[in-house]
Amino acid sequence: MEILMPAPICLIENSSEGELQVQQEALRVLEEITQPTVVVAIAGLYRTGKSYLMNKLAGKRTGFSLGSTVQSHTKGIWMWCVPHPCRAGHTLVLLDTEGLGDVEKGNVKNDVWIFALAVLLSSTLVYNSKGTIDQYAMDQLHYVTELTEHIKVKAAGGGGRQEKEDSAEFVRFFPAFVWAVRDFTLQLELDGQEISEDEYLEHALKLKHGSSQETQQYNLPCECIRQFFPDRKCFVFTQPASRRNLARLEELQEAELEPEFQEQMNQFCHHIWETSKPKTIPGGHVVTGAMLGNLAVTYVDAIRSGGVPCLENAVLTLAEIENSAAIRVAAAVYEERLAQKAVLPTQSMTELLEVHAQCEREALQAFMARSFKDDDRRFQSELMHHLEEQKQDLCQRNELASSDCCTAALRELSDELDNRISQGDYAVPGGYQHFLDDQRQVAERYRQVPGKGIMAEKMLHEFLQSKETVGQSILQTDEALTEKEKEMAAQRVQAEVAEREQQIRQQQEAELQQKLEDQERSFKENLQQLEEKLEDERKKLLDEQGKMVDQKLKVPVGHVLLWRYPQDGYSLGELTSTVWVRTLMHGVLANGRQGPGHQARWACGADPETG
């Protein structure tokens, strides 16, 4: 469903006490968005023009509050959902975050949570800064170095201290990264050669050689960006207008903006619109608005409880919610399709089961499209149990509709017969034969009535049985028949009854066999769709693993080692608290410390001895 929002609303409130709270109004808006969402979040220092960029991405001049003073206007995370300009059937969700480093706030930890939520909720993260990408800019991006302290991929196992996770694991969850450099005044040149914006960024992220603490501190944010955000892009923007007009930037017409800035802004917007992918979670499952809202609640609840958001747990929690919703959606699809296709009563069980099979197939497809991580197939089994109950209910309703139709037809057709019985017309010599003839005529006319359904023969049998006592009475009082003829007539009636009962039993046995065959068909249908889903999930998993391997291979073997000194108490594999030692040759240490008491592993996971 496409949502039209005239203006942004607050998604996550950040109170004056620094407490985060997801807003119910925003959740209600997201709940209505069943389309895939492309989520673009922006982060950066306060008063750097983030909101202006987001308004442009929304295709509007105003919306997110810009402000015109040194005070930060945006508090918490604000959301604006608009139709995607380039992707039909998608919603563009823009998240404008509270400015980082606001001196009035004085809560550094709160800044880290805002930054972490922007990373976790977006499919593209725009980092906005001013001036140049220099040492100061890198120092201000220290939030990225703390991500592993405030986010974990896997839930802690039983016993012992949890080891820090491989940065490549985070790549599965983290967004594409776009660095927007505002008020850029330098020439894009390196060693006298013109370079692109992306080359400028990569040069700025180039690691320095050396093992000093100063070098390590400089390299850490660069290394984190390189490892956490392999998909990177850079845009530089000149100053949009004269200094005196900057305070009223949102009021300016296009003609009042610098032409170069307008071109840069157009390139930025089109890049975001055309390349930003829908938000997904591991397994390649696309996030809708409702799922995005549930993710926000899950992450914020973890933060409010004093814990650290766990991505794996968040996915499992989301899977529980989504799989339950998938059952409801599938059940609704079944009922909707059934209302469209089923015309009761059907003339045969085959016809009824074919309608059920079509509706079940579409319901199962709807479930498969929305469900994920149903590893034990608990939710799929629950759906199948529900649809089996629906089938039984359908069969009962079909029988009832058929019975009602047959009863109405017999009541109308036998009206004259009942009148003659009540008037005693058959209580005369030869009356029994007249009674039989009239009763057979009712049966013949009844069989010609169309649309009676699968209960037609059974209802006729019950009707004829209901007249048996009357018929026996007429037979015994018919003076035109001898006792032998009466006995033979009674035997014929019993034979006809037995024959009808046999036909009904055969029909019921055939219908039971058809139901059993339909259960087998249903099982195969479930298995086939499950296999198709598993194959699709397998391909997505391989693609994710390939990206992780590619990311690991970007760190050259022999380039980065993580060392553990037993006497120093460092833990193997810890990114932010280990001593980083860089070496160009196997076994030669830059700081000169080596020996059997020192353990090491390659950052990319390879063993030094085996390569």
Tell me the percentage of the chain whose pLDDT exceeds 70: 82
Q: Pick from 283, 294, 351, 293: which is nearest to 317 by CA?
A: 294
Q: Using pLDDT thresholds of 50, 70 and 90, give the confidence band for residue 218.
A: confident
Q: How far apart are CA 592 and CA 84, in angstroms?
A: 56
pLDDT of residue 534: 87
Tokens of 399: 């029988």
Confidence label for 162 from pLDDT (cuts 50, 70 and 90): very low
| Contact yes or no for 515/458 (Cβ under 8 A) | no
**What's residue 512's pLDDT?**
95
Residue 175 scores a pLDDT above 90: yes
Distance CA 594, CA 591 (A): 9
pLDDT exceeds 90 at position 134: no
Query: According to the model, what pLDDT value does residue 72 have?
Result: 46
Q: Is the pLDDT of residue 6 over 50?
A: yes
- The answer to whether the beta carbons of residues 235 and 264 sit under 8 Å apart is yes
How many helices and strands in the chain, by DSSP H and E? Answer: 18, 15
Model confidence over 85-112: pLDDT tens digits?
A: 999 999 999 999 988 866 555 456 788 8
- pLDDT at residue 215 in the model: 87
Give the integer Cα–Cα distance in Å for 605 and 238. 42
pLDDT greater at residue 520 or residue 255: 520
- 291 vs 546, residue with greater confidence: 291
Of the chain, the percentage scoring pLDDT greater than 90 comes to 57
**233-245 tens-digit pLDDT:** 999 999 887 676 6
Identify the residue with better confidence: 379 or 185: 379
> Which residues are within 8 A (CB) of 473 and not within 5 positions of it... i.e. 6 or more apart?
none
pLDDT 10s digits, 381-391: 999 999 999 99
Q: How confident is the model at residue 177 (pLDDT cuts 50, 70, 90)?
A: very high
What pLDDT digit, counting tens, does each position of 556-603 carry? 443 333 333 333 333 333 333 333 333 223 333 333 333 333 333 333
Query: Where are the domains positioned within the chain?
Result: 9-305, 320-401+530-540, 406-512, 555-611
For residues 205-231, give the mean pLDDT.
Answer: 89
- DSSP symbol at 162: P
Q: Which residues contact 338 (CB under 8 A, 6 or more apart)?
A: 355, 356, 359, 390, 394
Confidence (pLDDT) at 296: 96
pLDDT, tens digit, 9 for 90 and up, residues 443-496: 999 999 999 999 999 999 999 999 999 999 999 999 888 899 989 999 999 999
* pLDDT score, position 589: 34
Average pLDDT, rounded, for the chain:
83
Fold of 9-305: Rossmann fold (3.40.50)
Over residues 500-504, mean pLDDT: 94
Instruction: Give 210's DSSP letter.
Output: -
Evaluate if residue 35 carries a pLDDT over 60.
Answer: yes
**How does pLDDT run across 513-559, given as a tens digit for each residue?**
999 999 999 999 999 999 988 888 888 878 877 766 776 666 544 33
The DSSP secondary structure of 485-512, one letter per residue, reads HHHHHHHHHHHHHHHHHHHHHHHHHHHH
Q: Residue 250 has what pLDDT?
A: 63
Q: What's the confidence (pLDDT) of residue 141?
A: 82
Residue 550 to residue 40: CA distance in whole angstroms = 25
- Does pLDDT of 64 surpass 90? no
277-289 pLDDT per residue, tens = 999 988 788 999 9
What confidence score (pLDDT) does residue 152 get? 85
Q: Is the pLDDT assigned to residue 316 strictly greater than 50?
A: yes
- When mean pLDDT is compared across 237-251, 321-335, 341-355, the lowest value belongs to 237-251
* Section 488-516 average pLDDT: 94
